[in-house]
Chain A
């Protein structure tokens, strides 16, 4: 028996420790299969790679098959496929890195300002750091408000505003919500699902611009191929 205070969970090794007494004769026939399933990590990550390859193939196909590549539909499909492929590649890449087969930039927090002032309960971040973050957020807000009074096309303004807002959101999540100082596994659990779900909502946008073009009664409607 293993003492309880030792960590028992070893990812990927659980399958190999199945009790085989009593049914050993029957299981011997499946030995190659069992060897494969013993390394669950490898199997599941292989599946992930398969999915990723499939999505890359879909992306290439949608880019190649669309007549005009620079159109909302085609760009959207390609981007979604590539993003899903990227999501599926995260876990295999992590496994490769874990087994020392892939060199990656370290995720660990660099030494610096963030670690100067550590309180008794490991509260990373000094008042100066948070004041700097606050200052950055205020400056970005002022830039946004000033931008609203420049005469720029609406779509360019929207892009810049959303870009600045994403920077602000990242600052708040990383420093105020302390996610930068949390375990990497928490970050990798929370952020990708949110990003994927929000990106899937964008699936409606090609439809909204098309419904605008379909309405031929409006003043100055442009006759597009879809708006017959």
Chain B
């Protein structure tokens, strides 16, 4: 299933759109993962747009994130995910060169990035729940004083969206762990497909981070 011929062929589009035995020129696993990613992207965009709807129709919205720890932590988390995406590309590249050992090493690094993200994010949750007393359907008393017209839905939006994303990261770490464990048995396409999933997790965070965190930075 080589695609290098079409990459340089100038009249590629006509052939690409003509159907044939492999209309997409990818394996069924990869196509399945792409379709899952598209549907999951719709789930996340529905959640983010629901959050934006609530926020746009409210008089006020809490902006509680101080520079330390929330913004610093979430920025470091973003960098972790971006770096782990890069190491995942390197893993897929190594797997394409049939270098299984290097692929496993790169996947381990990717998992490390994902685990760092999880630990930092759980600490962030702990900080909000324990130190502030944030609950899904009520604001902490301190916040309610500072933003009196805000609806009590900050916690619901925050916990749902970041929680679902965290669940995706956890799933991804387990998935990558399984791939790394089985690296000698799995085919190159499996590594590539797990990479697609991991990049998607990264991609979602690129929208969650600005919308949840950066739009609610505390004006000191």
Contacts and interface: CB of A to CB of B under 8 A. Distances in A.
The interface centre, meaning the residue of B12, B45, B49, B210 with most chain A CB atoms within 10 A of its CB, is B210
Given A161-B214, A182-B25, A108 B203 contact: no
A11 B16 CA distance: 12
Nearest to B83: A134
Contacts of B210: 144, 161-162, 164-165
Nearest to B56: A208
A127 B92 CA distance: 12
Interface in B186-218: 188, 192, 195-196, 199-200, 202-203, 206-207, 209-211, 213-215, 217
The interface centre, meaning the residue of B12, B17, B20, B192 with most chain A CB atoms within 10 A of its CB, is B17
A204 interface: yes
Nearest to B8: A108
A186 interface: yes
Contact of A149 (B34, B90, B217): B217
B82 interface: yes
Interface stretch (A50-58, A61-69, A187-195): A187-195
A158 interface: yes
Range for the number of chain B residues in contact with chain A: 35 or more
Chain B at the A interface: mostly helix, strand, loop or mixed? helix
A189 B26 CA distance: 13
Interface in A124-179: 124-125, 127, 130-131, 133-134, 137-138, 141, 144-145, 147-149, 151, 154, 157-158, 161-162, 164-165, 168-169, 172-173, 175-178
A211 B57 contact: yes
B34 A125 contact: no
The interface centre, meaning the residue of A121, A162, A218 with most chain B CB atoms within 10 A of its CB, is A121
Interface string B16-43: 1111110111100001001100100110
26 contacts: A108-B9, A108-B13, A111-B8, A115-B8, A118-B4, A122-B3, A123-B93, A124-B7, A127-B90, A130-B90, A131-B86, A165-B210, A177-B195, A177-B203, A182-B24, A183-B3, A184-B12, A184-B13, A184-B16, A190-B34, A190-B38, A194-B38, A197-B45, A201-B49, A205-B53, A209-B57
Contact of B18 (A11, A177, A202): A11
B57 A130 contact: no
Interface string A189-223: 11001100110011011011101100100110000
Contacts of A172: 85, 199, 202-203, 206
Interface of B: 2-4, 6-10, 12-14, 16-21, 23-26, 31, 34-35, 38, 41-42, 45-46, 49, 52-54, 56-59, 71, 75, 78-79, 82-83, 85-86, 88-90, 92-93, 96-98, 149, 188, 192, 195-196, 199-200, 202-203, 206-207, 209-211, 213-215, 217, 219
A107 B53 CA distance: 37
Interface of A: 7, 9-11, 94, 97-98, 106-109, 111, 115, 118-125, 127, 130-131, 133-134, 137-138, 141, 144-145, 147-149, 151, 154, 157-158, 161-162, 164-165, 168-169, 172-173, 175-178, 181-186, 188-190, 193-194, 197-198, 201-202, 204-205, 207-209, 211-212, 215, 218-219
B12 A107 contact: yes
B94 to A, nearest CB: 9
A33 B86 CA distance: 56
Contacts of A177: 195-196, 199-200, 203
Contacts of A119: 93, 96-97
A192 to B, nearest CB: 10
B56 A201 contact: no
A185 B34 contact: no
A123 B92 contact: yes
A135 B87 CA distance: 13
Contacts of B8: 108-109, 111, 115
